[in-house]
């Protein structure tokens, strides 16, 4: 695969060893920085139509090379893609394979754009909350972060935000560290634009969180507005 060979040509053995030790997930690491991958993916994306991007992203993901999987996500990280059903199906198919935060977050950065493009997909995402893998449960929260960032939400935005706050309620007693961290992250981001809603949620559910997650959620609430 030409694109994978281009990544391999930039391999740095020392950086690759450091990445493998840091991520602690057994796969091939090349030591290529994310900004370099991003630029390469942007060039490939410009050369391909949507089916071509889906095909290349699928092959890069299946390589199971760390940088290949990040490049696969970067290929599909666009706000506007038409048609995008095939893109969403590929990303959703990756979710059960998540095994570490770095690749998962890059993939869900692509996924969140498909969710905001078609919020009806939240019905599928909600089913992830019951998945035995905490990486899948976490993806439901990471992928819905855009609803914390809306400064002037419309009624439908508020409804979707409340839906996800209900998911946080469902996961509040999940003792997995990464789930608790994601809950704190979601609430902290929401507090930038709707601090009172976060205070209300914490007032009702905050005692069920681990202390570090609650501190994360409250971090911006202590700052002067």
Model pLDDT, residue 47: 94
Domain boundaries, the chain: 1-117, 130-225
Cβ–Cβ < 8 Å for 141, 167:
yes
Q: CA 135, CA 115: separation in Å to the nearest integer?
A: 18
Please name which of 187, 197, 177 lies closest in space to residue 220, comparing C-alpha atoms: 187
The CATH fold assigned to 1-117 is ARM repeat  fold (1.20.1660)
Q: What angle do CA 117, 121, 125 make, to 5 degrees?
A: 125
pLDDT tens-digit map of 146-183 = 999 999 999 999 999 999 999 999 999 999 999 999 99
Residues 6+ apart with CB under 8 A from 62: none
Percent of the chain with pLDDT over 90: 96
One-character DSSP codes across 146-202? GGGS-SS--HHHHHHHHHHHHHHHHHTT---HHHHHHHHHHHHHHHTT-HHHHHHHH
Please name which of 165, 158, 170 lies closest in space to residue 198, comparing C-alpha atoms: 165
Instruction: Choose which CATH entry (2.40.50.1020, 1.10.287.310, 3.40.50.1100, 1.25.10.90) describes domain 130-225.
Output: 1.25.10.90
pLDDT tens-digit map of 28-75 = 999 999 999 999 999 999 999 999 999 999 999 999 999 999 999 999
Please name which of 183, 167, 90, 89 lies closest in space to residue 128, comparing C-alpha atoms: 167
Mean pLDDT value across residues 198-211: 97
Residues 6+ apart with CB under 8 A from 58: 72, 90
Residues 6+ apart with CB under 8 A from 164: 141, 144, 147, 186
Mean pLDDT value across residues 132-149: 98
Please provide the average confidence, as pLDDT, over all residues in the chain: 96
Q: 3-state class of 12 per DSSP?
A: coil
Model pLDDT, residue 223: 63
Q: CA 100, CA 86: separation in Å to the nearest integer?
A: 24
Model pLDDT, residue 224: 54
pLDDT tens-digit map of 3-12 = 999 999 999 9
């Amino acid at each position: 695969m030409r694109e994978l060979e281009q990544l391999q040509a930039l391999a740095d053995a020392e950086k690759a060893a450091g990445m493998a030790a840091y991520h602690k997930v057994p796969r091939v690491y090349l030591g290529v920085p994310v900004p370099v991958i991003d630029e390469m993916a942007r060039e490939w994306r410009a050369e391909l139509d949507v089916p071509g991007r889906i095909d290349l992203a699928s092959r890069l993901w299946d390589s199971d090379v760390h940088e290949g999987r990040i490049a696969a996500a970067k290929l599909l990280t666009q706000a506007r893609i038409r048609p995008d059903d095939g893109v969403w199906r590929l990303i959703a198919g990756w979710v059960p394979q998540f095994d570490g935060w770095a690749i998962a977050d890059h993939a869900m950065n692509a996924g969140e754009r498909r969710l905001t493009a078609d919020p009806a997909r939240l019905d599928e995402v909600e089913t992830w909350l019951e998945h035995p893998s905490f990486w899948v449960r976490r993806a439901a929260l990471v992928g819905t972060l855009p609803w914390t960032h809306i400064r002037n939400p419309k009624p439908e935005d508020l409804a979707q935000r409340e839906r996800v706050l209900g998911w946080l309620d469902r996961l509040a007693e999940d003792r997995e560290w990464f789930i608790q961290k994601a809950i704190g992250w979601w609430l902290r981001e929401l507090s930038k634009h709707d601090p009172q809603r976060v205070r209300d949620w914490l007032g009702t559910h905050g005692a069920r969180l681990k202390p570090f997650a609650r501190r994360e959620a409250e971090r911006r609430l202590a700052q002067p507005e």
